[in-house]
Amino acid sequence: MGKKKKDNLPVLAEEYPRDYNMADWKYEKIIEQIKEFESFLDDDHEIGLKLASFGSSVIMSVTDIGYQNPDILYFYGFVDGKEAQLIQHISQLNFLITSIEKEDKEKPARRIGFALPTLQDESDEELEERLRKRLEKELEIEKENKKTEKKD
């Protein structure tokens, strides 16, 4: 059974437009940049983020990134060999992606572990379901925000 055409997707997109102000969009854009940067690293280097918002410069060895709509991104990793988590509002994103030497020369270089689904990897049904779930979450958040506004 072959894939069906995605003829119904533009209707879905028109009916439920993407909100580019949400954290999931920023997350996807950051992942694209990190994956591209990682593609140029050799086996002795890993991704590091240079953070400059703590009064001094801090280098974080990133192992994972997450998000929570509408506006929070999470960066997990290590700072000076200690576990660390950065919680960042999307309006505050400002860091330098850099390469750092891996600490353990015996282990393979650590790469950030995430995979974005692509249109080629998903069936029509899977893509439509993913879009619907994202929309449902965004609508739920919007309703909650309106309730909160009415109370204030």
Beta carbons of 30 and 65 less than 8 angstroms apart: yes
φ, ψ dihedrals at 72, nearest 5°: -120, 135
Classify 13 as helix, strand or coil: helix
Ordered mean pLDDT values, 10 residues apiece, the chain (152 residues) = 43 63 88 88 88 76 86 88 90 87 82 51 61 70 73 66
pLDDT for the residue numbered 118: 42
Instruction: Give the CB-side neighbour count of residue 125, counting CA atoms within 13 A.
Output: 2
Q: CB 73: neighbour CB atoms within 10 A?
A: 20
pLDDT for the residue numbered 103: 78
Query: Which H helix or E strand runs over 139?
Result: helix 124-151
Q: CB 95: neighbour CB atoms within 10 A?
A: 19
pLDDT for the residue numbered 89: 92
What Å distances lie between residue 30 and 50, 65, 113, CA to CA?
14, 9, 13
Question: Residue 121: CB partners within 8 Å, gap ≥ 6?
Answer: none
The position carrying tokens 């919680």 is 87
pLDDT for the residue numbered 136: 75
